[in-house]
Amino acid sequence: MSLQSIISEWKSESFKSIYWLEGEEPYFIDKIVDYAEHHILNENEAAFNLTVFYGRDADWTAVVNACRRYPMFAERQVVLLKEAQYMKDIEKLEGYINKPLSSTVFVVAYKDKKVDGRTNLAKLLKKNAEVFSSKKIYESQLPEWTKNMILAKGFEITPQALLLLVENTGNDLSRLENEIEKVAINLVKTKTIDENAIEKYVGISKEFNAFELQAAIAKKDLAKAIRIIQYFQANPKAAPIQLILPAVYSYFSKVYTIFGMSDKSENAVKGIFSNNFYAAKEGIAAAKTYGIQGIEKVLLLLHEYNLRSIGINDTGTSDADLMKEMVVKMVS
């Protein structure tokens, strides 16, 4: 069952006794837990019938006793167990999971991993609980996921603005949503998010960012690359080297993939670049500009300077000087 399906059932007053939320992507788990905490019960009901535990501090007997209580002045009670992955003796919840109380909605947030399917706990959950598995959103899926979120909020976003936002925010889905909310609140006369809106409301320069740096390197535009690095030097929080290098490495890894493709048309290559025709066109151009040996050199230099940025084989060189030196070697 998906996040939307679970919340849709809750809105229609349909509840199961146990919801076990597990997996590597915390965003979706947090969404379900937040809804359970603030929307299943109204304010008056929650005062008597909402109990929240945290795995690090929770005692299994206290959790079970809370689940076995009957609701007061309401049809149901809600018991939340957050950060359940840190709870000691979590397998001792098996007794309750085997015979849950129908008037209790027990929601367990078991983040970053899954229960071993061979255990008795897993078998009981499969039998008596709604198990939600939260899968990590891969980097290649981020643009499409972000675009769909924006569309669901009643807005549109230009391809360049989408790439600018995703490339500079990363795969923190909560942060992405917060940035989109920030832009949406401030847009007044339009429903289209463009690069200017991202620059103004998210605080990402449309001229000086990791996306523009990789584009400059791809075109061997040394002067522009150095200007961008100088901006980073003057504004250290704008793009730390620990974020820039992985982003540039990811881009050139995609470009490198092109050489192994029999069909190198934009239509074929766009799949590597999250189905973005603009990015595919730029990637094909970069492959032609550098050739396979040139891209291999770029990737090796990125690996070398990533190590140097954390102090391996380097002592004291500033981040800006490291990037300038690296870029000069790349485009020469």
66 to 10, 38, 62, 251, 262: CA distances (angstroms): 21, 18, 6, 50, 61
Residue ranges per structural domain of the chain: 3-134, 139-202, 210-331
- The two three-digit tokens of residue 105, written as one number: 């909605």
DSSP H helical ranges for 55-141: 60-68, 94-98, 120-128
Could you tell me if 166 and 273 are in contact, meaning their C-beta atoms sit under 8 angstroms apart? no
Domain 3-134, what fold? Rossmann fold (3.40.50)
Burial of 265-276, coded b for 16+ CB within 10 Å and e otherwise, reads: eeeebbebbbeb
- If one counts every other C-beta atom within 10 angstroms of the C-beta of residue 224, the result is 17
**Residue 140 C-beta-side C-alpha neighbours within 13 Å:** 10
- Identify the three-state secondary structure at position 312: coil
What is the model's pTM? Answer: 0.70
Domain 210-331, what fold? Zinc Finger, Delta Prime; domain 3 (1.20.272)
- pLDDT per position in the chain (332 positions), as tens? 789 999 999 999 999 999 999 999 999 999 999 999 999 999 999 999 999 999 999 999 999 999 999 999 999 999 999 999 999 899 999 999 999 999 999 999 999 888 888 899 999 999 999 999 998 888 778 888 999 999 989 999 998 888 888 877 777 899 899 999 989 999 888 999 998 898 888 887 778 888 889 999 999 999 999 999 998 888 877 778 888 898 899 999 999 999 999 999 999 998 888 778 888 899 999 999 999 999 999 999 999 999 999 899 888 899 999 999 999 999 98
**Phi, psi at residue 209, to the nearest 5°?**
-155, 175
Could you tell me if 54 and 110 are in contact, meaning their C-beta atoms sit under 8 angstroms apart? no
Q: What is the pLDDT at residue 86?
A: 94
Distance CA(83)–CA(99), nearest Å, equals: 23
- If one counts every other C-beta atom within 10 angstroms of the C-beta of residue 61, the result is 10
**Phi, psi at residue 151, to the nearest 5°?**
-60, -40
Q: Please report where in the chains the tokens 């549109």 appear, as a residue.
A: 156
Distance CA(126)–CA(5), nearest Å, equals: 18
Mention the CATH class of domain 139-202.
Answer: mainly alpha
Distance CA(272)–CA(286), nearest Å, equals: 14
